[in-house]
Structure 1
Amino acid sequence: MTVTAWNEPAGGTPRGTLIVLPGRGETAASYERFGRRLSADAWRVRLVPVDLDDLDSARVQVEKLLVDESLPAPKVLVGADSGAALAAVLAPVLPVDGVVVAGIALPGSTGVDTWEEEVEARTACPVHRRVIAEDDGFTRGGLNQPLPWTSVEVAAPGKPVLVLHGSSDPVTSPTEALAVYGGAPGVRVRLVSGGRHDVLNDASHRSVAATIVLFLESLKLGPELPDVVSEPVSSAAR
């Protein structure tokens, strides 16, 4: 299993480590932009391939990264689609410091009939559309692959969770997603306006990445996620 790595700029001090679990059909090529952007902010990024028919291999690799002392804490799982579901499954049982669940795939999520429908369901970003179209390793029709879970609970007791979901996701509707997220303690939910299923690589990828960085920097301050940037307290409130 080949782990893809993006590191902080030369001479920079790493802030922590992101362990990315991609979704159905995706390869590391889908996350090149994401990896470069987050690593530019000094977060080391490691992408672990996920084979839904061999989840043990992915878990073993994640565990190796979690105990790798060369990778700085906090260590955060970042999952998309089926990788988001896997991140939610693993978070309560592995020593991760936080979780980012993006565009989760749930049992019964809607599939696609054609490549054109898959592209429309995944992203409105022309750059990402070109990336997946030109990626020889990308599995077309991957969104039709069944998930190896009958249910998913998005909660990790004592660990902060950031949920990102597109308001126009046709694969897992916001209604279905919000029903899973519910009011679970420690879960921060953000809907991306107009976002589709590949929310990390959709048209609002810059704002999504910025939201993740804010979550990560808050996590650096503590698991209660204190604000790094906040409105001033008004004189009336004082």
Structure 2
Amino acid sequence: MSRYTDHPAPEGVTTRGTILVVPGRGETHETYARLGARLSADAYHVRVVDPPRLDPADPAPSLTRFAKELGEAADAPDGVPAVRPVVVIGSDAGAAAVAAVLARTGASWQPDGVVLAGLPSRAAPERATWEEELDLRTACPVHRRRLTEDGQVRRGALGTPVPAPVLALAEESEIPVPTLLLAGDADPLVDHQALLAKARSLPRARLSRVRGAHHDVLNDAQHRSVAAEIVTFLEGLRDGMAPAVSVAASAW
């Protein structure tokens, strides 16, 4: 599998920023083809990277390597600097690894903003059949089919715990850049109270709960609304986090 899969902005328009997507447990580049296509259509260059390779016995070197890989992925293959803002979207263990990297002092590279989707808790689900794992992940029939037909997806991966030191760093991290936290309210793998406390503890954070969504909140049945929430975050980041749209009156 290639280290990157690119979804460039449409030809003839100015690229508005760079997005790195970090998959979670068991996922592949192809898992995020739909999200990449949607965000790139809004003139962002989307690059899906390999999932982080975390050593459960000694994750510190893994995180150092992962931070270096993110910095390299942010630039074009010919070394041209990325169009800013640069935002990292992490899902599941990818979200935990991104948060853990930003928690470490002296990090050699950091993005302009992050989106942490389905940040996992310390509890791992019991061994499940593939249908049961799909039920944990998503109710979207298209996403279920994509996961099932992708021969590179590692079935049963959700039953492998994220290394405890990585989760500890992610839980304790004081992320210094604007942060959008996303969680499905039907996701049993997220500690929702801990996530709320984390959002309140960060200097520039927003927690968005997605009604009815499962663990794969970026790809569940509500993926259009989730992508819109991400684009709103991206556009706000370009303008000092000032919202472009505010509600003056509403009947809902």
Work out whether the TM-score is over 0.5.
yes
Instruction: Establish whether residue 230 from structure 1 lines up as the match of residue 246 from structure 2.
Output: yes
Q: Note the 1:146-161 alignment, pairs <5 A.
A: 146-150=161-165, 151=168, 152-153=170-171, 155-157=174-176, 159-161=177-179
| Code of the aligned partner of 2:66 | A
Aligned to 1:82: 93
Shift of 1:146: 1.9
TM-score normalized by the length of structure 2: 0.85
TM-score normalized by the length of structure 1: 0.90
Give the aligned length.
230
SS at match of 2:46: strand
SS at match of 2:68: helix
Instruction: Establish whether residue 123 from structure 1 lines up as the match of residue 138 from structure 2.
Output: yes
Cα distance change of structure 1 residues 111 and 99 upon mapping to structure 2, 3 Å threshold: farther
SS at match of 1:32: helix
Cα distance change of structure 1 residues 112 and 203 upon mapping to structure 2, 3 Å threshold: farther
Aligned to 1:132: 147
Shift of 1:47: 1.3
CA contact (8 A) 1:111 1:171 kept: no
Shift of 1:232: 4.1
Shift of 1:90: 2.0
Shift of 1:112: 4.2
Aligned to 1:40: 41
| Code of the aligned partner of 2:118 | G
CA contact (8 A) 1:22 1:48 kept: yes
CA contact (8 A) 2:18 2:45 kept: yes
| Code of the aligned partner of 2:8 | N
Unaligned runs of 5+ in 2: 56-61
Cα distance change of structure 1 residues 163 and 96 upon mapping to structure 2, 3 Å threshold: same
Q: Which moved more, 1:182-191 or 1:24-33?
A: 182-191
CA contact (8 A) 1:17 1:75 kept: yes
SS at match of 2:201: coil
Aligned to 2:58: none
Q: Which moved more, 1:204-213 or 1:63-72?
A: 63-72
Q: Which moved more, 1:43-52 or 1:17-26?
A: 43-52
Instruction: Establish whether residue 14 from structure 1 lines up as the match of residue 15 from structure 2.
Output: yes
Cα distance change of structure 1 residues 59 and 183 upon mapping to structure 2, 3 Å threshold: closer
| Code of the aligned partner of 2:245 | V
Q: Note the 1:46-61 alignment, pairs <5 A.
A: 46-50=47-51, 51-53=53-55, 54-61=62-69
Shift of 1:209: 0.2
Alpha-carbon separation, structure 2, partners of 1:138 and 1:161: 28
CA contact (8 A) 1:162 1:189 kept: yes
Aligned to 2:72: 64
Unaligned runs of 5+ in 1: 234-238
CA contact (8 A) 2:74 2:86 kept: yes
Shift of 1:181: 3.4
Instruction: Establish whether residue 101 from structure 1 lines up as the match of residue 153 from structure 2.
Output: no
CA contact (8 A) 2:49 2:73 kept: no
| Code of the aligned partner of 1:64 | E
Instruction: Establish whether residue 166 from structure 1 lines up as the match of residue 166 from structure 2.
Output: no
Alpha-carbon separation, structure 2, partners of 1:197 and 1:111: 15
SS at match of 2:118: strand
CA contact (8 A) 1:109 1:172 kept: no
CA contact (8 A) 1:7 1:39 kept: yes
Match of 2:193 among 157, 166, 175: 175
Q: State, as a whole percentage, how many aligned pairs show the same letter.
A: 43
